[in-house]
Amino acid sequence: MQQPAPSPARPGRTEQIRDDLDQSRRRGPLQHIQIPPCPALLAELQQAMSADEPDLGVVGRIASSDVAMAATLLRIANGPLFKPVGLPCSTVGQAMTRIGLRESVAVMTGFLAEHAIPVNAPQLTRFWQRSTKRAIAMTTVARELPGLSPDLAHSFGLFLHVGMPVLLQSVRGYGATMVEAAARIDRPYVATENANHKTDHAVVGALVARVWNLPPTLMAAIRLHHDYFALGHADIEPEVHTLIAAGLIADHLMRRHEGLPEDADWAGHHAAAMEWLQVSWDELAQWEESIATQFEAAA
Judged against a pLDDT cut of 90, whether residue 211 lies above it is answered with yes
Beta carbons within 8 Å of 265's beta carbon, 6+ residues apart = 226, 228, 248, 251
pLDDT tens for each residue of 78-115: 988 787 677 899 999 999 999 999 999 999 999 999 99
- Residue 1 contacts residue 147 (beta carbons within 8 Å): yes
The pLDDT of residue 295 is 85
The pLDDT of residue 7 is 38
The 3-state secondary structure of 173-242, one letter per residue: CHHHHHHHHHHCCCCCHHHHHHHHHCCCHHHHHHHHHHHCCCCHHHHHHHHCCCCHHHCCCCCCCHHHHH
81-to-199, 203, 258 alpha-carbon distances in Å: 39, 35, 19
Rounded to an integer, what distance in angstroms lies between the CA atom of residue 199 and that of residue 192?
A: 9
pLDDT tens for each residue of 49-77: 988 888 889 999 999 999 999 999 999 99
Judged against a pLDDT cut of 60, whether residue 176 lies above it is answered with yes
pLDDT tens for each residue of 228-285: 888 888 888 999 999 999 999 999 999 999 999 999 899 999 999 999 999 999 999 9
Rounded to an integer, what distance in angstroms lies between the CA atom of residue 235 and that of residue 5?
A: 7
- Residue 107 contacts residue 73 (beta carbons within 8 Å): yes
- Residue 82 contacts residue 98 (beta carbons within 8 Å): yes
Global pTM value: 0.91
